[in-house]
Amino acid sequence: MNTLLYWATSIALFGFALAMCCAGLRMLRGPAAQDRVLALDALYVNGMLIMLTLGIRYGTRVYFDIALLIALFGFVGTAALAKFLLRGEVIEP
The domain locations on the chain are 3-87
% of the chain beyond a pLDDT of 70: 95
Backbone angles phi, psi at 5, to 5 degrees: -65, -40
Give the list of residues 6+ apart from residue 47 with CB closer than 8 angstroms, or none: 20, 70, 74
pLDDT exceeds cutoff 80 at 92: no
Average pLDDT of every residue of the chain = 91
| pLDDT tens, position by position, 49-89 | 999 999 999 999 999 999 999 999 999 998 888 888 888 77
- The reported pLDDT for the residue numbered 4 is 93
pTM of the model: 0.86
| Nearest CA among 25, 45, 36, 31 for reference residue 84 | 36
CA-CA distance, 87 to 93, in Å (whole number)? Answer: 12
Nearest alpha carbon to residue 48 among 68, 75, 32:
68
Q: Which CATH number fits domain 3-87: 1.10.3470, 3.40.449, 1.10.287, 1.10.15?
A: 1.10.287
Is the pLDDT at 1 greater than 70, yes or no?
A: no
Question: What is the reported pLDDT for 33?
Answer: 85
